[in-house]
Structures are given as C-alpha cells and as structure tokens.
Structure 1
Amino acid sequence: MDCGDTLLLTAITAVAAAAVCVAQDRLKDVRLRQTRVFRTRTVLEELSDNDVEDMFHLNRQGIMELFHLIGDDIEPLTRRTHAIPAMVRLLAVLNYLTTGNFQPSCAHIIGISRPSLSRFLKPVLRAIKKHMGTYIHFPKTPEEWQEVKDGFSRQGGMPNCLGAIACTHIALIPPQNREEQFRNRKGYHSLNVQVVVDSHQRIMSIGSGSPGSCDENHILRQSALYDQFEQGQMPEGWLVGHSGYGCRPWLMTPLLNPQTAAEVGYNGAHSRTRAVMEKTLGVWKSTFRCLSKTGGFLQHAPELVSDIVVVCAILHNAALANHVDLPIRGDLQPEIPALPATSEDSSEPGNRVRQDLIQDHFQESTKLGDL
C-alpha cells in the first residue's frame, strides 16, 4: 500500500469514527428525552379545603379571587405541553411565602423544580403587588372611619383612635456593598417595615423599603403617612404608637412616668389599644414564615424582599376578608424593643393634645371609679 492509499484509509476511518460518535450522542439525547419525568402538579380542585388552607393559608375562594386578578399577567407565553400553568405558579409562590422554604421540598409539593420556582417568583410577586390598593388602604368614608374608631374604643377604651403604628424587622442577607445600612440594633441585617393596623388586625398602611439601621421616627418622617397627617388630610383623631415614637397631635404615645390616676388610666387604655399591633405582627409572621427569622434569612435583593413584605400584607388582608383562621406560633423571635424617643422627636402641640385627652376623657373615668 502506497502513501496515498494510507492517507485515504486514515481519513475514511476518522470520518467513520466521527459518524459513530454523532450517532451515539443522538441516541443518548433520544433516551434522555424519553426518560424525562415531569412531576405531577398540584391542582387546586384535587385538594381538600383543609389542605388548601394548610398549604397556602388562604382558602379556595381567596385564591380564586387573587387568580382572577393576576392570571393573565402570569400565564406562560409558550404553548409547550409542559409549560407551567398560571395557577400552579401562583400556588407555588403562596406555598413558599407561607413556609419560608425555598428548598426542593417546597417545589416538590407543588410538582415543579426549584429553578422553575425561582424563575417565576418575581413576576408573580410583582403581579400581586400591582393590586396593593385593592387590599391595603385606609377607610374611604366617614362611616368606615367611625367603625375603626368604635373598634378601638371597644377594645381598649381609647377614643378617636385611627390606627396602631409600629415597625418590625424582616431579616435578609444584605448586599455586600451596603451591609452596614441593613444592620439593626440587634446586630443582624434586615428591612425595617412600618405598619398601621385597625382593631381587627387588618393592615391599612405599609412601608417596606427602609434598611434595618433606620429608626422608627426617621421612617415615619420620610413616609407619605407623615405628610398626610401633618397636612391635615386625615380625619380628626390619632394613631397610637410605642414610646419610641415622638408624641405629636396625631400620634399618641404612653407617658414614661405617669403620676396621677388619670395618667395611669390613659397608659392602660393606650397599652390595651396598641396590643392589637403585637398580635397582628405575631399572626403575620406565623402565617408567612418567610417574614420570620425562624423561617431563615431571605436570600434576595432588598428590593425583592420589599415586594415579598408587601405581598404578604396583601395576602394577610385577603385571608382576613375570606375568614381564614390564621395561625399564631409560639416560637417567634421577640420584636426589637424601641429606644425611648428624644425630645426632638416630640412636639409641644402633641404633648398638649395628650394632656387634654387625659383631662377630658380619663379624668372623668377616675371620678366614676372605672380604673
């Protein structure tokens, strides 16, 4: 065999070997496609009412109401046979928020992969958040405001109360370049979230974008809520807040050293009225474990964590509106205690309004022997 024949044989052998490799690769792809397993996806109709509430902390009616609002926004664009339907996407996100579990076990319950859940988490959250005004708002009529006042009066004996206000910390993994901004007084990283609730634990206002290093008074002053009260856009009355807030004409705080029976009576009514906030935060973080440190630190960008907080507030109100029995657990971390407000945080008009309230309402109560 001469040199030319040898080269020809070598070339033929190489081409044949390459063809065999291509054929093997194609056969491997076919086998992979044939053996690919798609999990059985949870369908709402297949779950009992108890299972629905246990898994999503929202009943069937509440889920369907939400789905009708956002279904078109989260429907898959592709027509592939195995595209994840909008309802499955919604249920997966609801289950993640209620469990705080982003591990495969959460995705396995719904029948999707963890990467899939991670991929459509943000679009579903944004779709729900678009309807924030439908679920989270102050009363819109004088009659509705009067119902709020009457509820607080029956609960704690505080007249003209428009709501209870507080801040709560939501733990997160901070961006490396802004780590110190998110470090709170307890030394972990968080968002500090401002909440206003009514006597029935309904969230009427929420501000979720402040880093954990910000204190309550700073957050309040930067909020639209502050401007609404300062500019006289809210009804006559006041919020109640803890001693970390400054006293203002529209924000009543407790007396640090009550001296008279009337002042003691005022502090007692203030404490009973504000107790609804403590209960609301306990229920909220028990219902949505992603908000509690016991559910782990949220491993998302602060902007997405802020969206999660707002969506959990929306779902909290949706559950209340649909008469869902929300859980409260005993393993929650205590709230970070507030530092006493400084004199700069309070206003002299606020102190006068508080003293007039004590004189007009609680002085008479002491005479009647109600305290």
Structure 2
Amino acid sequence: MAFALPVWLAVQEELLGQGEAENGAPSCFEDFDDEALFQMFHLTRPCIAFITDAVRIRMKKVALKKPALSVDSMVMVTLNYYAHGASSAAILKGVGLTQKDCQSLVGTVSGVIAGMSDQFISFPLIREAKANVAFKVKRFCGIPNVLGVLAPAHFKIRASPYEKDTFRSFVNTLGYTSVVSQIICDSDGNILSVEKCCVGSTFEQEMWESSFKGREMEEELHGPYWVIGKIYIYMLKVNKHRNTLYT
C-alpha cells in the first residue's frame, strides 16, 4: 500500500522522537530464544516485532514514576502481563520495576494499543466487502454466505480467592480465572469484531445474544449472511424464523 509523503514524514518524526539511543539498539526480546519467547509471551517473534513497531510509532513519551523505559521494555512487560495475567518476577527484575509500577505501565501501553484498534479491526459493511469475505470463506470450507468465524477469547487474570462469589464468576470451563471477549475473524485470520468483555464463566451464546453483532444479525442488517460459531459450535442465520444449529 502506498502512503502519501506527509504520512511517512510524520512517522519518521515520531520515531525520531524516541531518541537515537533506541534506534538500532538491540531489542530486549533478543535475550529469548523462540521457545522461551512463546512461553513468556504466547506470541511468535514476528508477531511481537509487529506489535512493538506499531506501539513505538504511537508512543513519543510515557510518564512513569521510575525513569522512562524503552518502548521494547514497556511492550515486553505488557505482553508478559497479557499472557499470564500477572507480570513474571524475572521480567520485572530485568527492567527494574515493581508490581505497582507494572500496573501503571500496562495501563499506558494498553491505552496506546486500544487507540489503534480501528486500524486493525473492521467488519465488512459494504456489499462488495461482504461478498469478498464470503467468497474466501466458501473457497476455504465450502459454506456459502459466511461473514466470519465467531469464538470466545479468554484472557487469564488473577482474581482474589477470598471473595468467593466473585472468584467463581471468573473461573471458566478450562478451570482458570479469566475475562472473555467475543471475537469474529475471517478465513485469513483478520479480526473483524471484538466486543463483550465479560467474566470468564459467561456462556458463549449469552455473549452472542447480547452483543452488538448479535443484535445486528437479529435485525438482518447484514442481509443473507451467516456467522459460524466455534466452541459450543453453532451456525446462525437470521431470517423470519431464527435457526440455530448446534453440533
């Protein structure tokens, strides 16, 4: 994709705002081999590099109580937190942070990542876009008129076991505490929709029925298209008579 020159100049200015010390410096992720990298962050090296580069472009300066860290270090702490629901002691020691410092840092980086969501998450709205997504899905699995694959994504958290009722609500069917979001992807793995952050015990169909995309399908705003569910698998097509198929 070609970008206008002013866009590239703006990107360059933001990168230079990080200071020359970070440009060309070895990444802190290079201290991990591929296996250790996946264990610590649940992501591959190319995926981590993409996230780090995207965040670096958006972050000029972050105010922390401790001396400012490099963007790589801030992303490392944040991705480790996402992967395990808490920051690993080894990671915090390596960057010289406490758990309290970590909460503020994760909040800051998460805000930057959330601010980029509209660049990477887009549901097909126009007729041509819907037809293109449906064509690719049909070519992949033979099912016609499918806009995407629906599935819950669980994110591990630490919940206090002393608050028994609250704790139980976060325990999912896999036996650990989490929050869960409803995600729709196309056949290429592109994220089309993310919504409904709920406690981990929430049933998938309950999320779907109360979600924006669920209501849009209910009102037939997307025409004759299906959404295929994964986990408690169901295929949903909305028409005058609502049909839900479980397998």
Higher helix share: 1
Deviation, 1:192, is 3.2
SS of residue paired to 2:54:
helix
Q: Which residue of 2 aligns with 1:47?
A: 26
State the alpha-carbon separation in 1 of the partners of residues 82 and 180 from structure 2.
Answer: 20
| CA shift in 2, pair 1:146/1:247, >3 Å | closer
1:146 deviates by 2.5
- Kindly tell me the number of residue pairs found equivalent between the two proteins: 210
The answer to whether the 8 A contact 1:104-1:113 is kept is no
Q: Is the 8 A contact 1:52 1:60 kept in 2?
A: no
Cα distance in 2 between the residues matched to 1:84 and 1:92: 14
C-alpha displacement of 1:238 = 0.6
Question: For residue 67 of structure 2, what is the aligned residue in structure 1?
Answer: 83
Q: Which amino acid in 2 is paired with 1:222?
A: S
For the aligned residue pairs, the C-alpha RMSD in angstroms reads: 3.6
Change (3 A) 1:144 1:63: farther
Question: What's the offset of the Cα at 1:165?
Answer: 0.9
Name 2:187's counterpart in structure 1.
Answer: 199
Report the alpha carbon displacement of residue 51 of structure 1 after superposing the two structures with TM: 3.3
Residue aligning to 2:211: 223
Q: Work out the CA distance in 2 between the residues paired with 1:61 and 1:216.
A: 30
The alpha-carbon deviation at position 164 of structure 1 amounts to 0.9
Once residues 107 and 88 of structure 2 are traced to their aligned partners in structure 1, the CA distance between those partners, rounded to angstroms, is: 17
Which one-letter code corresponds to 1:201 in the other structure? Answer: G
Per the normalisation by structure 2, the TM-score is: 0.67
Whole-angstrom CA distance in 1 between matches of 2:221 and 2:167? 37
Q: 1:97 to 1:134 in 2, by over 3 A?
A: farther
Whole-angstrom distance in 2 between the partners of 1:213 and 1:66? 32
Equivalence for 1:120: 105
Superposition map of 1:26-65 within 5 A: 43=22, 45-47=24-26, 51=30, 57=45, 58=47, 60=49, 63-65=52-54
**What secondary structure, in the 3-state scheme, does the structure 2 residue paired with 1:45 have?**
coil
- Equivalent residue number for residue 92 of structure 2: 107
Q: Is the 8 A contact 1:102 1:114 kept in 2?
A: no
How far apart in 2 are the matches of 1:247 and 1:149?
Answer: 14
Relative contact order (C-alpha < 8 Å, sep 6+): which is higher? 1
> 162-171 or 100-109, which moves further after superposition?
100-109
Bigger proportion of residues as strand: 2
Match of 1:169 in 2: 154
Per the normalisation by structure 1, the TM-score is 0.47
| Aligned-partner Cα distance in 1 for 2:25–2:70 | 16
Paired with 1:350 and 1:88, the residues of 2 have a C-alpha distance of 48
Please state how far the C-alpha of 1:348 moved relative to its aligned partner: 4.1
Percent pairwise identity: 17
2:224 to 231, 236, 239: 236
In structure 1, stretches of 5+ residues that fail to align are 1-41, 252-346, 355-371
Which whole-Å CA distance do the structure 2 matches of 1:159 and 1:187 have between them? 36
The alignment partner of 2:24 has SS state of helix
Contact 1:167/1:195 (8 A) holds in 2? yes
Distance 1:52 1:95, change over 3 A: farther
Q: What's 2:9 paired with? A: none
Match of 1:350 among 240, 243, 246: 243
The question of whether the paired residues in 2 share the 8 Å contact of 1:166 and 1:242 is answered with: yes
Residue 150 of structure 1: aligned partner = 135
Q: Which amino acid aligns with 1:143?
A: E
Q: How far, CA to CA, are the matches of 1:142 and 1:114 in structure 2?
A: 51
